[in-house]
Amino acid sequence: MVLAGLISLFTDVTYEGARSVTGPFLLQLGAGAAVVGWTAGLGEFVGYALRLPFGRVADRTGRYWFLAGLGYVLNLVAVPLLALAGNWPVASGLILLERFGKAIRTPARDAMLSFAVQQTGRGYGFGLHEALDQVGAVVGPLVVAFVLAQGGGVRRAFAWLAIPAALTLALLVVTRWRYPAPQEFEGPPGCEGRPGDQASAPAAGRPRAGTADPPAGLGPLLPFFGFIVLSVAGFAHFQLLAYHFEHRGVLDEPSIPMAFALAMAVDAVSALALDRLYDRHGLRTLMALPLFTAEGALALGPSARVVWIGILAWGAALGLQESILRAALADLTPPGGRATAFGVFSLLFGGAWLAGSVVMGWLYEHGTGYVVGFSLLTQVLAGLVLYVVFKTRATEPARRRP
């Protein structure tokens, strides 16, 4: 688990560091806001939508290490290659390649983690991995900010990120050599807890064969999916925000990755805090998402003070997306239909961010006020759809997570 956590840490240092300045970099290469919106949105769509088919490939073939390794190589090599990009089409292609690599590696990596955490306990194992993941997400942009503050420029920052990328790949090789068959950590079927612990009862939270809830249709989830689409469509991508900071001169160059680092820190804290609120108050906690997303549009403001307030709200909205949206989906879906529901969730999430980013990029070229107005409109509509979700659930008690 420690090796897996370190891999995650250095991976996030690499690609989150790069993502903190790709917006300004595209601007420097002559790209407009529409191009930035397309690149950011398509990248997220690729990163989310393709996880489902690659997850199926991993499960059917059992070649978890091959898929994870291929994904990590594409994900990480694309970052330092940005230092060599001579025009925005090449840079956009590398940004998309980085997202494509993440789509390949994530399902296989998560599957291997689910095997490995049998040795430590799922809560501790995934918690350690997520903690190191968040540390990397904050450290990466700070490394880029330091390079920029020294006058190195964005290209040099990309080049420096080759170091954590190389460390990640080296750790990956070591981990593959030491643990070539992570499935063995799971133990024989019917085991509970660590390998070797024989138990006649199924693992906690895992239904016995033939007793799981039958897969349900997605019809009852349509209002919730509508809420997801609207709330995500109005969530400005950081590439567009960073483009705005550079284009309007609202923040100096080193402050842009620092803003992203702050957002990542808020993301981590808010995800933990709001997860606990969700455990207490259930679906009502979702009301915070359109509020924080709308406030996040302040990051498109004309002054640094307004921008920093917007960044705080933007980070909180991101934390909500990564935590309680998934928790709510689990509560709204019977166990027998959750795999399908989460697959649809990823597809809709990526598609909505693509559509919203394209629209916002186009609107930005006509004025930031239009972008802010679009964000506010989508969040008002999301709030109305959420009311429908509440009404449809009013007659049945909310299912809480174990």
Q: What is the crossing angle of helices 255-281 and 238-248, to 10°?
A: 140
- Which 3 state secondary structure label does DSSP give 191? strand
Q: Quick one: pLDDT at residue 298?
A: 94
Per CATH, the number for 217-396 is 1.20.1250.20
Q: Quick one: pLDDT at residue 326?
A: 80
Strand partners, 191: 198
Query: Within 13 Å, how many C-alpha atoms sit on residue 362's CB side?
Result: 8
pLDDT in tens, the chain (402 residues): 677 778 889 999 999 999 999 999 999 999 999 999 999 999 999 998 888 888 888 888 888 889 999 999 999 999 999 999 999 999 999 999 999 999 999 888 877 776 665 555 555 555 566 677 888 999 999 999 999 999 989 999 999 999 999 999 999 999 888 877 766 655 554 444 444 443 333 343 444 434 444 444 566 788 999 999 999 999 999 999 999 999 999 999 999 999 999 999 998 888 778 777 888 888 888 999 999 999 999 999 999 999 999 999 999 999 888 878 888 887 887 766 666 777 788 889 999 999 999 999 999 999 999 999 999 999 999 999 999 888 877 655 544 444
Number of helical H runs and strand E runs in the chain? 17, 0
Q: Which amino acid is at 399?
A: R
- In 10 A of CB 152, how many CB atoms? 15
Q: Which amino acid is at 338?
A: R
- Alpha-carbon distance 317 to 312, whole Å? 9
Q: Quick one: pLDDT at residue 210?
A: 40
- Alpha-carbon distance 217 to 184, whole Å? 34
Nearest residue to 382 (alpha-carbon basis) of 291, 307, 274: 291
- Two structure tokens written together for 75: 């994900």
DSSP state of 301: S
Q: Is the dihedral of CA 47, 168, 319, 158 positive or negative?
A: negative
Where do you find CATH 1.20.1250.20 in the chain? 1-181, 217-396
Nearest residue to 54 (alpha-carbon basis) of 356, 297, 374, 343: 343
Q: Which amino acid is at 216?
A: A
- Two structure tokens written together for 271: 């995800």
Q: Quick one: pLDDT at residue 197?
A: 41
Q: Quick one: pLDDT at residue 338?
A: 66
Q: Quick one: pLDDT at residue 339?
A: 65
- Two structure tokens written together for 161: 């990120």
CATH superfamily of 1-181: MFS general substrate transporter like domains (1.20.1250.20)
Q: Quick one: pLDDT at residue 244?
A: 96
Over the range 378-392, which residues count as b (16 or more CB within 10 Å of their CB) and which as e? bbebbbebbeebeee
- In 10 A of CB 90, how many CB atoms? 14
DSSP state of 253: T
Q: Quick one: pLDDT at residue 122?
A: 52
Q: Quick one: pLDDT at residue 381?
A: 97
- Two structure tokens written together for 355: 């559509």
Quote the pTM value.
0.84
Q: Quick one: pLDDT at residue 94?
A: 97
DSSP state of 387: H
Longest dimension (CA), the chain: 65
Contacts of 79 (CB under 8 A, 6+ apart): 14, 15, 17, 18, 94, 98, 158, 161, 162, 165
Q: What are phi and psi of 331, to 5 degrees?
A: -70, -30
Q: What are phi and psi of 228, to 5 degrees?
A: -60, -50
- Alpha-carbon distance 297 to 98, whole Å? 26
